[in-house]
Chains A and B, each alone.
Chain A
């Protein structure tokens, strides 16, 4: 029965993957991170619901373990594809003549412009900071989040992030 539950969890992951691919293409207004996260929980509840309703005793832990292990492996890969600066630099080089460019040009074009402006836009769009005449200022929400992150970093002795 354990082996069957492990396979059922893997099939649930397959359904999740298919749903994510479809939803990422159809729900243009949702952020991809939200789609990937919300779909993982929704699919899991559906998988557990189906397993609980088939009339046979299905081991919960193997089912959940295989589903979440595979789903979190995908989430790690997705995070890298969606937000990794390193991978984005590789893609940038792929599109350049000779698949090469100067250090300075990449820094200016991508790190100092595209990527930086996108991150600042995210902070403002999510209500973490406001853009004022004198510059960027944290909102109350942004200050609360920053204080919480700072406290967790201090607890784990993480001095800087980036």
Chain B
């Protein structure tokens, strides 16, 4: 690998340091009472802390030399890649359906029938919880409207997004989803 240049410029170095520490910010933020149980907001706050820290370090510790757009872009992309990686794990821990079923079996500490597993899901909330949770997100995003117990795709947003989703499945050649 003699052709690769591994030298670290300050924006890249600070991005690596500050980005690696994202789980630490999350651990602290998760202990703040006003944000308790609000996992998405906790992650957003963690991202904010990370970007502010990086910007501050680049601005204050980098001295008077002119900022290089390429170096800044590299630093931002490192922060972005790190955030996406942590977001995958964070999403799995806080929203994972299969993991939720695994943990339901773990907490029960005895064999559960199919019905019991569904009933005890998410500490007794049951499978209907997942429907309510996801549906509130879809309605909030304007993709679906609900009236008298009937759900319908909204023509302006829901239908195009559903078609885009269908096209993505076909493009990727996925046989099974969801």
Contact = CB atoms under 8 A, between A and B. Distances in A.
A and B: partners? yes
Interface of A: 1-3, 6, 20-21, 24-25, 28, 32, 48, 51-62, 65-66, 68-69, 71-73, 75-79, 81-91, 93-94, 98-104, 106-107, 110-112, 114-116, 118-120, 122-123, 128-129, 132, 134-138, 142-143, 145-147, 149-150, 152-153, 155-162
Contacts of A86: 134, 137-138
Contact of B103 (A103, A136, A146): A146
A114 B32 CA distance: 38
Interface string B1-42: 111111111001000000000010011001100001101000
A158 B113 CA distance: 26
- Interface extent on B, as a size class? 35 or more
Contacts, number: 275
Interface string B122-148: 110101111101110110000110100
A162 B106 contact: no
Interface stretch (B50-58, B59-67, B154-162): B154-162
Nearest to A85: B134
B27 A89 contact: no
Does more than half of chain A's interface fall in helix, strand or loop, or is it mixed?
helix
27 contacts: A1-B5, A52-B1, A54-B3, A62-B73, A65-B77, A66-B74, A73-B80, A81-B169, A82-B177, A86-B134, A89-B134, A89-B151, A90-B165, A94-B159, A101-B150, A103-B151, A115-B178, A116-B127, A119-B98, A122-B98, A132-B111, A146-B106, A150-B103, A158-B39, A161-B95, A162-B121, A162-B129
Interface string B65-97: 000101101110110110011011011111111
B55 to A, nearest CB: 17
B105 interface: yes
Contacts of A73: 80, 84
A143 B104 CA distance: 11
Nearest to A28: B175
B127 A161 contact: no
Contact of B117 (A68, A69, A135, A152): A135
A93 to B, nearest CB: 5
Contact of B112 (A1, A60, A136): A136
B1 A75 contact: no
Given A90-B158, A135-B113, A157-B36, A106 B134 contact: no
The 7 closest A-B pairs by CB, nearest first: A88-B178, A2-B70, A100-B152, A146-B106, A162-B100, A135-B111, A72-B84
